[in-house]
Structure 1
Amino acid sequence: MIPRPKPGEYNEYFSKYIQHIPDQANILEVLQKQRQEVEQLFGRVSEGEASFAYEPGKWSVKELLGHMVDTERIMAYRALCIARGDQKPLPGFEENDYVANAFFSERSLNNILDEYNTVREATLSLLRSLPAASFSRLGNANGSPITPSALAFIIAGHERHHMNILKERYLVKL
């Protein structure tokens, strides 16, 4: 089982995501179950509605999902690097630039959902393959210390954060 990260294993900024995951949660089970929630909630959105943004300047439904995919891919890569003992500082990323340059609007919602499922399966496979000792290995990403354990919880908490936004700001207006 992947241990819950302790303070000092991540930048305090990420607390808002980690707190979305219950203390005794098995993070692999959480990540697996989230796939069903994503399929269910995004499945309620028609292709025509997938370009909807709840406010001018906010991401569309497709862009929100694409952002979740990009972030998970980056966080999983960081977990891989740190678990393998890489001590080089890993770069940050500017989420708005990533979304602006991804052209999610030109893709179908189903295509982005397929990518989400592929990335989530790869994340689960990676996390299941790591030896227990690697989860507490400290690395550096975006100028802050972080562990693979923290990254696993951040992936799940970040997704939960955006799923709440989808429910509260998008689905109520569609």
Structure 2
Amino acid sequence: MIPKPQPTEYNAYYQPYVQSVPEGTDVLEFLQKQRYEVIQLFGRVSDGEADFAYAPGKWSIKELLGHMNDTERIMAYRALCIARGEQNTLPGFDENDYVANAFFQERTVGGLLEEHQVVRESTIALFDSMAPAAFTRVGNANGSPVSVAALAFIIAGHERHHLNILKERYLAKL
């Protein structure tokens, strides 16, 4: 079981994500269960409905799912680098620029969901393959220290955050 990280293991920005994973939770099981929740929630949205944004300037449902995929890839890459002993600072990313340059609107919900499942399988396999000592390793991403364990919890909490937004601000208005 991956230990829940201490607040010193990640930037305070990520605290809401880390704290949203309940105490005593096996984060790998949590990640596995989220796969099914993503399928259940996004799977009931048609491609036409997935172009919906709940307010001007907000992402569409397709963009939200694409952002979740991109962010998980980036966080998993950071975890891989740090677990393998990378000493260089890993770059940050601007989520809005990534979404603006991804053309998620041209994709189908089914395609984005397929991608999510592959990304999540890869993430779980990565964490599952690591020795326990790897989770305590701390590197630097976007100018802040972060542990491998923290990245696992950030991935889970980030997705939980966006699934709550999907339910409250998107699906409730469709």
**What's the TM-score bracket when you normalise by the shorter of the two chains?**
over 0.9
2:56 aligns with 56
Deviations 1:37-68 (A, max 9, x none): 00000011111101000001100000000000
Written as runs of structure 1 = structure 2, the 5 A alignment for 1:1-174 is 1-174=1-174
- For structure 2, the residue ranges without an aligned partner over 5 or more in a row are none
Q: CA deviation at 1:21?
A: 0.3
- For structure 1, the residue ranges without an aligned partner over 5 or more in a row are none
**Please, what is the CA RMSD of the aligned residues?**
0.5
- Output the TM-score relative to the length of structure 2: 0.99
One-letter code of the match for 1:54? Y
Q: CA deviation at 1:7?
A: 1.6
Kept in 1, the 8 Å contact 2:54–2:169? The answer is: yes
Q: CA deviation at 1:161?
A: 0.2
One-letter code of the match for 2:111? N
- Measure, in 1, the Cα distance between the counterparts of 2:105 and 2:13: 29
Deviations 1:109-147 (A, max 9, x none): 100101100000000000000000010101000000001
One-letter code of the match for 1:116? H
- Measure, in 2, the Cα distance between the counterparts of 1:55 and 1:7: 33
**Percent identity over the alignment?**
69
- Output the TM-score relative to the length of structure 1: 0.99
Runs of 4+ in 1 over 2 A off after TM superposition: none
